[in-house]
C-alpha cells in the first residue's frame, strides 16, 4: 500500500455513543480520489452511524475529520454539503408528498430573479439528469410516493450526483432494486469513479464489494476489524472478517 | 349520461376534493334556505356570513402550515383574546394620552404593536417546540391557559371600549365596507387577475409540452370564476344600509343625505381575508419557506438531511401563526367595537376544524389555503344556519362535532382511494 495520493476524506479515531452504548468505537477510515471503499459489517455494526457522522446527520463524540488534509468541522448536513459530500441514504430520505424535482432540489432550490422558487427550471434540470440516469423515468409531476422502488432510488441518486459531489456516500444503494437497476447503479459507480470521486459504499452484498470496491473496511460491534485491498482477499476472507471479526492477514489459525 | 358528466368534470381538471367541499357547501346553503323559507340566501345574511367567517378564515390559513408540519396550535383562541386586549388597551387607554382621541396614527400603531406581539409570542412557542422538543400539543395547551389568564390581567377583567373609529372599520360594520363602486372595481380587478392567471398557466403548460385542457373547458372555468366573483360583488351590493346608518355616515361627512338606497358592498374584513389568502398561497407554492414547510411535513428526517433547519422552520411557522392571529384579533375586536375577556373563546377549535375540513391532513404534508377558507365558510354556514333555524346551542355543538368527525373520515377515505 504505497499509494501516496492524499486521501480525499480521512475520518480518524471516530467515536459515537448512544446512551452509554459505543456505536462507533475509535474507528478510522479514508477514501482517495477515484477510489471506492466498501464498508461491511452486520446490522448494528456501526457502519451507517459512522457514515452519518460524515454526512452531518449525527454528531461525533470524539475524533477528527480531514478533507484534503485539512481538518473540518461538520455539524449538520448543510456543512457536509458545503464540502461537496453527498449521501444516498438507505431510507432514501425523500419527502413522499413532493414531486421528483422538488426532492432533487430540496434545500437548494433554483429561484427566479424575483426570489421565488422556479419550478419550471427545476423540472427542466430534473428531466435532463433523469434522461441520462434513468431514461424510462416519466412521472415528473407525481409525488414520489407514487413511484416504484427503483424510480425512487433513481431520484435519490440523481440528487446526490447532480450537485457536483466530490465524495459520495452510498448506503445500501441497491437493496431495493431489481437486477437490471442494480446493474445501472454499478455502471454509475464505475463512471463516477473514473471522474475522480471518492465513494464510500455500504453494502451487505459481498459480490458487489468484490466487483466494485478497491478497498474494504469491516466493522463489528462498533469496532474496526480491519481494512484490506480487495485484490488481496477472497470472499471467504471478507466473510470471516464480518462474522468472526478476524483479520485475514494477522492470524491464519 | 353519468359517464358524460364524468368526462365533463375530468376535462375541467378540478381537484375532486374541492368539488366535494363546494358541493357540501351548496347542499348546506340550499337546505338552510329551504328550511328558513328563503331567509338564508339573502344579501343581508350572506354579508353577515362573510364578515363572521373572516377572523377564523385568516387564522385557518396559518393553521394549515402548522398542521402540515405535523404540529397543532391550541392557543390561537386565547392568543386572539390577549392580543385583542393588548390592542384595545393601547388604543383606548394609552395612545390617546399622547396623541389625543381619534388621532389618525392610533389604529396603525395599535395594529403594528399587535402584529409584533403576535409574532414574538408565536416565535417563543415555536422555539420551545422546535429547540426544546416539547410537543406542540403541550406547549400550546399551556399557551391556551396562559394567554387567557394574561388577557384578564391586562385590564383585570374589564371590557375595553369604545375602540378607535378608524380601527373599527376593519371589522366590517355599516361603515366598514368598500361601498358599491369600489366593490365593483375590486370585482373587475379580481376577474381580470383570474383570467390572466389562467392564460399564464396555459402558456406555461404549453411551453413544457404538457397535456392541455380543451379550450371550451378553459372558457367554462373562466366563466365560472368571473360569475362567482361578480355574483359575490353583486350580492354584497344589493344589501342596503339602514336609514340610520346612511344618515350617520353622510352627516359625518357633511354631505346631503341621499334619497336612493346606499349599498354595503364588500366588507373590509373580506378584503383582508382575500389579501391574506393570496399572500399565504404564494408563500406556500412559490417560496423556499413554503416548500420546506411541506417537505418537513412529508418527511421531517429527509428535510433535516437535506440541510433544512427544521427547528428554525418551526419557530417561523408558529411566528407566522401569531401574526395571523393578531390580524384575526383586529377583525374580531373591531367587529364588536369592544374587547371583552372572552374574545376568541373556542376559536382554536373552529380554526383547527376549518383547516381539517378543508383537507389539511393531521399526519402532515398535505393541505391547501383555499381548502382552509372553504372549511371556515362551511363551519360558519353550519353555525349561522342552525342559529337562524333556531337550533338550541347545545344541539349546535353536537351537530358541529359530528360533522367534523364525518368530514375527516371522508377525507381519509378519499385519500385511501386516490392513494395519496
Mean pLDDT value across chain A: 89
The predicted pLDDT at position B363 comes to 87
Residue B413 above 90 pLDDT?
no
The total domain count for chain B is 1
CA distance B287 to chain A (A): 5
Residue B277 lies in a domain: yes
- Residue A191 burial (C-beta neighbours within 10 Å; 0-12, 13-18, 19+): exposed
Residue spans of the domains in chain A: they are 1-84+165-176+196-247, 93-163
Here the cell at position A93 is 430520505
Q: What is the pLDDT of residues A14-39, one digit of tens each?
A: 999 988 888 999 999 999 999 999 99
Q: Which of A76, A101, A106 to mutate to test the interface with B (most CBs of B within 10 A)?
A: A106
The answer to the question of residue B164 being in a domain is yes
B/e letters for B323-354, b = 16+ CB within 10 Å, e = fewer, are bbbbbbbbbbbbbbebbbbebbeebbbbbbbb
Residue A125 confidence (pLDDT) above 80: yes
pLDDT tens column, B275-292: 999 999 999 999 999 999
- Closest Cα in chain B, distance from residue A220 (Å): 26
Interface with chain B: mutation pick from A74, A87, A97, highest number of B CBs within 10 Å: A97
The answer to whether residue B259 is domain-embedded is no
Beta-bridge partner residues of A170 = A88, A201
Instruction: Please report whether residue B255 resides in a domain.
Output: no
Task: Tell me the HSE value of A67 on the side-chain side, using a 13 A CA sphere.
Answer: 16
Q: Are the beta carbons of B208 and A87 separated by less than 8 Å?
A: no
Question: Each residue of B211-251: pLDDT tens digit?
Answer: 778 888 889 989 999 999 999 999 999 999 988 889 888 88
Gyration radius from chain B CA atoms: 22
Chain A residues closer than 8 Å to B210 by CB: 141
Q: A77: distance to nearest CA of chain B, Å?
A: 5
Decide if B307 and A94 are in contact by the 8 Å CB cutoff. no
Helix (H, G, I), strand (E, B) or coil at A66: strand
What fold does the segment set A1-84+165-176+196-247 form as a domain?
A: Rossmann fold (3.40.50)
The secondary structure of A169-225 as a DSSP string is: EEESTTTT--HHHHHHHHHHHHHHHHTT-EEEEE-S-HHHHHHH-SEEEEEETTEEE
Closest CA to B166 of B328, B337, B332, B51: B337
Question: What backbone phi and psi angles, to 5 degrees, belong to A203?
Answer: -150, 155
Q: Which of B377, B44, B327 is nearest to B171 (CA)?
A: B327
pLDDT tier for residue A252 given thresholds of 50, 70 and 90: very low
Does pLDDT of B314 surpass 80? yes
Q: What size, in residues, is chain B?
A: 420
Nearest to A174 by CA among A153, A198, A148: A153
Give me the helices (H) in B42-135, please: 43-68, 76-89, 95-99, 106-130
B361 in a structural domain: yes
Q: How confident is the model at residue A206 (pLDDT cuts 50, 70, 90)?
A: confident
| Cα angle B402, B405, B411; round to 5 | 135
Phi then psi for residue B106, to 5 deg, are: -60, -50
Per-residue pLDDT at A253 exceeds 50: no
Phi, psi of A37 (to 5 degrees): -110, 120
Which residues, 6 or more positions from A114, have their beta carbon under 8 angstroms from its beta carbon? none
Q: How many CA atoms lie within 13 A of A225 on its CB side?
A: 28
Give A231-237's long-range contacts (Cβ < 8 A, gap of 24+): A235/A206, A235/A207, A235/A210
Residue B275 sits in which domain range? 52-174+267-420
The C-alpha cell of B232 is what? 359575490
pLDDT of residue B226: 95
Rounded to 5 degrees, φ, ψ at A215 are -130, 160
> Which of B207, B295, B301 faces A106 most closely, judged by CB atoms?
B295
Side by side, which strands form the sheet with A9-18? A21-31, A9-18, A62-67, A70-72
Helix/strand number for chain A, H first, E second: 8, 10
Residues of B whose CB is below 8 A from A123: 208
CA distance linking residue B5 with residue A145, whole number of Å: 30
Question: What is the number of CB-based contacts under 8 A between chain A and chain B?
Answer: 81
Q: How far is CA A164 from the centre of its chain?
A: 14
CA-nearest of B384, B381, B350 to B28 is B381
CB A153 within 8 A of CB A137: no
Calculate what percentage of chain B has a pLDDT beyond 90.
75
Establish if B200 touches chain A: CB-CB under 8 angstroms.
no
Strand order, beta sheet including A85-88: A85-88, A167-171, A198-202, A36-40, A215-220, A223-229
Residue B208 has pLDDT above 80, yes or no: no
Top pLDDT among B60 and B254 is at B60
Asked whether residue B352 is assigned to any structural domain, the reply reads yes
Angstrom CA distances, B182 to B27, B187, B241, stand at 31, 9, 16
**What is the arithmetic mean of pLDDT over A110-125?**
91
Does A81 sit within 8 Å of B307, measured CB to CB? Answer: yes
Which residues of chain A have a CB within 8 Å of the CB of B309? 78
pLDDT of A246 reads: 79
pLDDT for residue B359 is more than 60 = yes
**CA distances to A10, A18, B53, B387 from A46, in Å:** 17, 11, 55, 64
Maximal C-alpha separation, chain A? 70
Amino acid at each position: 500500500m504505497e499509494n501516496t495520493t492524499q486521501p480525499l476524506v480521512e475520518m480518524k479515531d471516530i467515536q459515537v455513543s448512544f446512551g452509554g452504548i459505543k456505536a462507533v468505537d475509535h474507528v478510522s477510515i479514508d477514501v482517495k480520489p477515484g477510489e471506492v471503499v466498501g464498508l461491511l459489517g452486520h446490522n448494528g455494526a456501526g457502519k451507517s452511524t459512522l457514515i452519518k457522522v460524515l454526512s452531518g446527520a449525527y454528531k461525533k463524540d470524539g475524533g477528527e475529520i480531514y478533507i484534503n488534509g485539512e481538518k473540518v468541522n461538520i455539524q449538520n448536513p448543510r456543512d457536509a454539503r458545503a464540502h461537496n459530500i453527498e449521501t444516498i441514504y438507505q431510507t432514501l430520505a425523500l419527502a413522499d408528498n413532493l414531486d421528483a424535482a422538488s426532492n432533487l432540489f430540496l434545500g437548494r432550490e433554483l429561484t427566479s430573479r424575483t426570489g421565488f422558487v422556479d419550478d419550471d427550471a427545476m423540472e427542466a434540470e430534473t428531466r435532463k439528469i433523469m434522461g441520462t440516469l434513468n431514461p424510462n423515468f416519466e412521472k415528473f409531476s407525481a409525488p414520489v410516493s407514487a413511484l416504484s422502488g427503483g424510480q425512487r432510488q433513481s431520484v435519490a441518486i440523481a440528487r446526490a450526483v447532480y450537485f457536483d459531489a466530490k465524495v459520495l456516500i452510498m448506503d445500501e444503494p441497491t437493496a431495493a432494486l431489481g437486477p437490471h437497476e442494480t446493474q445501472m447503479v454499478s455502471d454509475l459507480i464505475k463512471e463516477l469513479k473514473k471522474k475522480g470521486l471518492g465513494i464510500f459504499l455500504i453494502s451487505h452484498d459481498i459480490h458487489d464489494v468484490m466487483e466494485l470496491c478497491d478497498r474494504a473496511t469491516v466493522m463489528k460491534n462498533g469496532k474496526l476489524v480491519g481494512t484490506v485491498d480487495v485484490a488481496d482477499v477472497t470472499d471467504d476472507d471478507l466473510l470471516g472478517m464480518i462474522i468472526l471479526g478476524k483479520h485475514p492477514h494477522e492470524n491464519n489459525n | 349520461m353519468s359517464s358524460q358528466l364524468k368526462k365533463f368534470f375530468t376535462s375541467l381538471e378540478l381537484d375532486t376534493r374541492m368539488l366535494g367541499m363546494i358541493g357540501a357547501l351548496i347542499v348546506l346553503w340550499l337546505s338552510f334556505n329551504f328550511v328558513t323559507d328563503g331567509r338564508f340566501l339573502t344579501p343581508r345574511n350572506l354579508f353577515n356570513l362573510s364578515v363572521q367567517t373572516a377572523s377564523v378564515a385568516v387564522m385557518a390559513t396559518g393553521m394549515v402550515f402548522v398542521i402540515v408540519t405535523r404540529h397543532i396550535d391550541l392557543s390561537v383562541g386565547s392568543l386572539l383574546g390577549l392580543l385583542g386586549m393588548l390592542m384595545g388597551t393601547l388604543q383606548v387607554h394609552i395612545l390617546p394620552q399622547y396623541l389625543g382621541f381619534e388621532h389618525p396614527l392610533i389604529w396603525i400603531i395599535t395594529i403594528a404593536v399587535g402584529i409584533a406581539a403576535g409574532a414574538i409570542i408565536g416565535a417563543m412557542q415555536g422555539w420551545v417546540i422546535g429547540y426544546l422538543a416539547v410537543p406542540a400539543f403541550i406547549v400550546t395547551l399551556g399557551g391556551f391557559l396562559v394567554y387567557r389568564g394574561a388577557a384578564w390581567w391586562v385590564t383585570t377583567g374589564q371590557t375595553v371600549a369604545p375602540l378607535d373609529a378608524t380601527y373599527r372599520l376593519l371589522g366590517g360594520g355599516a361603515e366598514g365596507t368598500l361601498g358599491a363602486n369600489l366593490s365593483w372595481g375590486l370585482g373587475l380587478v379580481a376577474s381580470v387577475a383570474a383570467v390572466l392567471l389562467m392564460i399564464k398557466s396555459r402558456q406555461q403548460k404549453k411551453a413544457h409540452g404538457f397535456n392541455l385542457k380543451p379550450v371550451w373547458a378553459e372558457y367554462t372555468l373562466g366563466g365560472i370564476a368571473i360569475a362567482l366573483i361578480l355574483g359575490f360583488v353583486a350580492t354584497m351590493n344589493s344589501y342596503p344600509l339602514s336609514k340610520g346608518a346612511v344618515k350617520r355616515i353622510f352627516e359625518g361627512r357633511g354631505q346631503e343625505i341621499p334619497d336612493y338606497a346606499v349599498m354595503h358592498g364588500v366588507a373590509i374584513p373580506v378584503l383582508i381575508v382575500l389579501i391574506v389568502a393570496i399572500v399565504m398561497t404564494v408563500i406556500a407554492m412559490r417560496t423556499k419557506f413554503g416548500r420546506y414547510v411541506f417537505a418537513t411535513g412529508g418527511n421531517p428526517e429527509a428535510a433535516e438531511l437535506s440541510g433544512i433547519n427544521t427547528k428554525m422552520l418551526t419557530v417561523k411557522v408558529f411566528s407566522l401563526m401569531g401574526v395571523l392571529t393578531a390580524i384575526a384579533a383586529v377583525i374580531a375586536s373591531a367587529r364588536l367595537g369592544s374587547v371583552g375577556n372572552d374574545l376568541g373563546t373556542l376559536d382554536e377549535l373552529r380554526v383547527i376544524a376549518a383547516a381539517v375540513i378543508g383537507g389539511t391532513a393531521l399526519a402532515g404534508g398535505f393541505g391547501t389555503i383555499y381548502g382552509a377558507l372553504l372549511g371556515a365558510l362551511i363551519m360558519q354556514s353550519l353555525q349561522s344556519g342552525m342559529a337562524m333555524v333556531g337550533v338550541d346551542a347545545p344541539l349546535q355543538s353536537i351537530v358541529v362535532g359530528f360533522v367534523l368527525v364525518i368530514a375527516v373520515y371522508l377525507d381519509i377515505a378519499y385519500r385511501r382511494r386516490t392513494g395519496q
